[in-house]
Amino acid sequence: MRAVVTGGAGFVGSHLSERLLSRGDDVLCVDNLSTGHAKNIASLLDHAGFHFVRQDVSVGLEITGRVDVVCHLASPASPRDYLRLPVETLLVGSYGTRNALELARRHDAAFLLTSTSEVYGDPRVHPQPESYWGNVNPVGVRSVYDEAKRFSEAMTMAYRRTHGVRTTIVRIFNAYGPRMGDDGRAVPTFVTQALAGLPLTVTGDGSQTRSLCYVDDLVTGLVLALKAGVSGPVNLGNPEEVTVRRLALAIREICGSSSPLTYVPRPPDDPQQRRPDISAARRDLGWAPRTPLTDGLARTVSWFRNTLANTP
């Protein structure tokens, strides 16, 4: 098929583009490189089926030729990035989502939206099923991302009901892996600090939890969601819950570091707990994560080590 991947030069987007190419699809990667990186797709540029279009999907999305599927991944995804680009984050979740949906509608293409576990906010239901409506502060600093994704889900469902667009919504929980970059999230922060011999900055007392899903497993879930054509939303994440402190210790051990842990204040509206109920993904997609945390972290540390070694 011929797939448009918005945000295709980003962390998850570049892995999805690579996977689609590996199975014989053509990929049009659309990215304005505000948070994506050209180096993430450098190895794909010589592939005959890969084309890069530098474009801001919030402004417009004009693609010539056939389009079979639109995968809308464009958005800042780390707190550091969406707090730096708050208006842009809201625009890509609103205008960007509409432009991507319009492209799918014009071409009678399937549409995949990557939403986020952040739509659940600081959850009062644990683990989080797709039926939970969330506990989001609509005027807090994180709302620019949370509400942008909640709006994009609403827009997606409106296009499905009104225009008959074949849409699928997936909610991603704490993906990690190579190409993540040092964007302020827990895994890259701890890895870069440990490799540099710096203190690992644990927010709060470190008891808050996350559910980490290795990027290869996540991309498998995205491809299965496209194939199944379910409307969703469907949670894609790892139901193995880990505290932030335990995560820091695990990364320190894998890095062979003696860095101490130091504790810093938690950011506003930081969720206390996060764990997906993946019953729907198991039932509808036949999907569950396979990569153990230690294996995924080892691969991630190796990528960071090599990248840092080759950085001037």
pLDDT at 310: 79
Domains contained in the chain, CATH given? 2-176+212-239+273-290 (3.40.50.720)
> Residues 123, 273: contact at Cβ < 8 Å?
yes
Beta-carbon neighbour count of residue 99 at 10 Å?
22
For the segment 200-214, the average pLDDT, to the nearest whole number, is 96
* Confidence at 312, pLDDT banded by 50, 70, 90: low
For the segment 52-62, the average pLDDT, to the nearest whole number, is 96
Q: Is 307 exposed, middle or buried (0-12, 13-18, 19+ CB in 10 A)?
A: middle
- pLDDT 10s digits, 144-194: 999 999 999 999 999 999 999 999 999 999 999 999 988 889 999 999 999
pLDDT at 308: 85
Catalytic site residue from 82, 145, 159, 176 = 145
Active site residue 145: yes
Residues 6+ apart with CB under 8 A from 302: none
pTM, to two decimals: 0.96
